Amino acid sequence: MKTIHNPKKEHWSELLRRPTRTFKDIETTVDDIFKNIQQSGDDAVLKYTSMFDGVDLENIEASKSEIENAESQVSDELKSAIKLAKSNIHKFHEAQKTEPVKVETQPGVTCWQAKKPIQKVGLYIPGGTAPLFSTILMLAVPAKIAGCSEIVLCTPPNKEGKINPVTLYTAQLCGIDKVFKVGGIQAIGAMTFGTETIPKVYKIFGPGNQYVTVAKQVATTFDVAIDMPAGPSELLVVADETANPEFVASDLLSQAEHGVDSQVVLVSTDEQTIVDVQKAITKQIEVLPRMEMAIKAIENSKFVLMKDDASASELIDFYGPEHFIISTKDDDFYVENINNAGSVFIGKYTPESAGDYASGTNHTLPTNGYAKQYSGVNLDSFNKAITYQKITEEGITRIGEAVELMAEAEGLQAHKNAMTLRINEIKNK
């Protein structure tokens, strides 16, 4: 674990490069799979499920009995934990509701905006090395609050062709009854085009590996929206001599165990803190069940020593982390000065894992630097805003001439005529 000392700005881009493959590396594979699904529907989905997940399915959809029987396979303690998390997530996202905005911009000219739910949404829930049932809470809860009328859930099956019972229980708890045993690129393709079994949706949500991320981006070329480009997980911690090195190490490892392409970064203004965190990582990693995966991810980690808080915050803003933990003597400085982050965790008693599960915020967040342009999933992600306007005779007399002049200046005579006809009718009354 090498420490980089006060890197120059011209080296930041290379230093903080994510360990991901490029879009072009994966796009050809995605295009081929999408084309086959578009042409062959369920048959193509079953073929790719056999190829990538190693299981031959007879039915893509989880049966009603499978969903109902899952509850008995989940411990009461875990069910209580899931219900607690669901309650907090519901509280936080319910509070994000807004009233319609209505303004009279001129006497007789009234404009307003109202939110309407996206009717058909698809939720992608990673399975693979870790069945992320918590992501169901993060996506299904706000979808239900928004009022989405059709919610489709896709998640990969295991080698026995089954879905983790905790995933099915959580789906049922959230009122989701359309659950499909499909993962990866083929899941995104199925929700993009629709098949004989899986409905087409208007917007796709959910994190995934690099293949899922590219598949979602390709889906946007087929009239389907996505939440954001959300790929392999990443975490940046800024810590100084006031931080607890054991806590910081545990936070870095909590992201490293997501997958070999995860990235964790420690930024500090104190070199001894970096040394102490590295020692703690070495100790803690040895007892992790996913040790091999975490070790490979730690190989992509960066330990960066900066001269002061100002330069540290500038570096962090340049990186734009998905998850950002602040554990310093002046947390407020970073809170106020960081503009690019998916979700921020403040103080030594606020681990990133709290946001992953039960504090109430959403864990579906922009990665790969997209925090500079995208927000994490929130209630508005499941809505679209429609604007309305109503103009009276008085309103026409107040803005009509301005519309005529502007339309004529742009050379759009029909636009002008649409206003002129109304003005003339009012004048001739």
CA distance 107 to 80: 55
186 is in an annotated binding site: yes
Catalytic positions are: 322-323
42 is in an annotated binding site: no
233 is in an annotated binding site: yes
- Burial of 178-192, coded b for 16+ CB within 10 Å and e otherwise, reads bbbbbbbbbbbbbbb
- Return contacts of 17-23, CB within 8 angstroms, 24+ apart: 18/232, 18/234, 18/263, 18/367, 18/368, 18/369, 19/232, 19/261, 19/263, 19/300, 20/210, 20/231, 20/232, 20/261, 20/368, 21/210, 23/214, 23/217
- For 327, the 3-state DSSP assignment is strand
66 is in an annotated binding site: no
Cα–chain-centroid distance for residue 219? 16
255 is in an annotated binding site: yes
258 is in an annotated binding site: yes
317 is in an annotated binding site: no
Q: In what order do the strands lie in the sheet with 302-305?
A: 3-5, 302-305, 263-268, 234-239, 323-327, 343-346
**Which residues on adjacent β-strands are paired with residue 264?**
235
Residue 138, both tokens: 């993060």
Residue 385, both tokens: 């805003």
Give the number of other CB atoms < 10 A from CB of residue 98. 12
CA distance 220 to 215: 9
Q: How far is CA 64 from CA 130, 171, 184, 199, in A?
A: 24, 12, 23, 17
CA distance 387 to 4: 51
* Cα dihedral value 339, 316, 367, 328, nearest 10: -90
Cα–chain-centroid distance for residue 422? 47
124 is in an annotated binding site: yes
- For 34, the 3-state DSSP assignment is helix
Give the number of other CB atoms < 10 A from CB of residue 151. 25
Residue 217, both tokens: 């981006």
Q: List CB contacts of 423: < 8 A, sequence separation 6 or more.
A: 396, 397, 400, 401, 404
Q: Could you list the residues known to form a binding site for substrate, using ranges.
A: 233, 255, 258, 323, 356, 410, 415
Annotated binding-site residues for Zn(2+) read 255, 258, 356, 415
